[in-house]
Amino acid sequence: MSQQQPSFERDIRPLFRPKDVEAMSKAFDLSAYQDVRDNADRIYQALANGVMPCDGAWTSEQTGAFHAWMEAGYPR
């Protein structure tokens, strides 16, 4: 994540791999800002608990970046 305020397009969207987007497509679209924002609490809890993505937990840096984005007010 960059030193400036985190943004969805620059910092968060790239964290979701194509296979993550596909795996979650029945619940929401991880490639779409509004879907991720609307489900951010659920997504964060799954990330923090290590159950998302299903093939291995994110690093603490990646999970921290997602949380920082939430705390910053979900900048686009």
Q: Is the pLDDT of residue 17 over 60?
A: yes
Q: Is residue 35 part of a domain?
A: yes
How much is the pLDDT for 1?
47
Q: Is the pLDDT of residue 2 over 60?
A: no
C-beta of residue 11 within 8 angstroms of C-beta of residue 72 = no
Q: How confident is the model at residue 59 (pLDDT cuts 50, 70, 90)?
A: very high
Structure tokens at 60: 């603490």
Question: What mean pLDDT value characterizes the chain?
Answer: 95
Q: Is residue 2 part of a domain?
A: no
Q: Is the pLDDT of residue 69 over 60?
A: yes
Number of domains composing the chain: 1
Q: Is residue 30 part of a domain?
A: yes
- Percentage of the chain beyond pLDDT 90 is 92
Q: Is residue 13 part of a domain?
A: yes
Structure tokens at 8: 């969805």
Tell me the C-alpha distance between 4 and 17, whole Å. Answer: 23
Domain that holds residue 23: 8-71
Q: Is residue 65 part of a domain?
A: yes
How much is the pLDDT for 4?
84
